[in-house]
Amino acid sequence: MTVFDIVRYMPNQTQQFDRIFHALADPTRRSVVERLSVGPAPVSELAGRFNMALPSFTQHLGVLESCGLVRSKKSGRVRKYYLAPQPLKAAESWMVRQRAIWEKRLDQLDDYLQTLKEKQSD
């Protein structure tokens, strides 16, 4: 069983990654994540940042909430949104892992070339 097979056997995580990356593929949604990383905010403040009809903006919030990047809580009459960093961390780890494998391979290639060079100079 290879790493690729393991990934294929994890349908839930696969779908979660689909949703997280899809959520981040939009500048408005990324801006919301950027804003919420400095602290929670009510929908009115978030919507005020964007020149956009409220229903469209609410849809963006829905996309962010359904993949778990953002959560909301009603307190009195105001619904506040806040960042839930776990999905961000999961997606980030996937990326870091791919780069690490790639960099390890480059290092191995480097070692191999070094060995060849040393053999030639023997």
Q: Which stretches of the chain bind a second copy, using CB under 8 A?
A: 3-4, 7-8, 14, 17-19, 21-22, 24-27, 30-31, 33-39, 49, 83, 85, 88-89, 91-92, 94-96, 98-99, 101-103, 105
Minimum gap (Å) between residue 53 Cβ and a second copy:
19
Q: What is the Cα–Cα distance from 48 to 34, expressed in whole angstroms? A: 15
Residue number with CB closer to a second copy (37 or 58): 37
Burial class from Cβ neighbours inside 10 Å (0-12, 13-18, 19+) for residue 67 reads: buried
Q: Which residues pair with 78 in a beta bridge?
A: 75
Determine the 3-state secondary structure of 22 from DSSP: helix
Minimum gap (Å) between residue 69 Cβ and a second copy:
10
Q: Which residues pair with 85 in a beta bridge?
A: none
Minimum gap (Å) between residue 115 Cβ and a second copy:
18
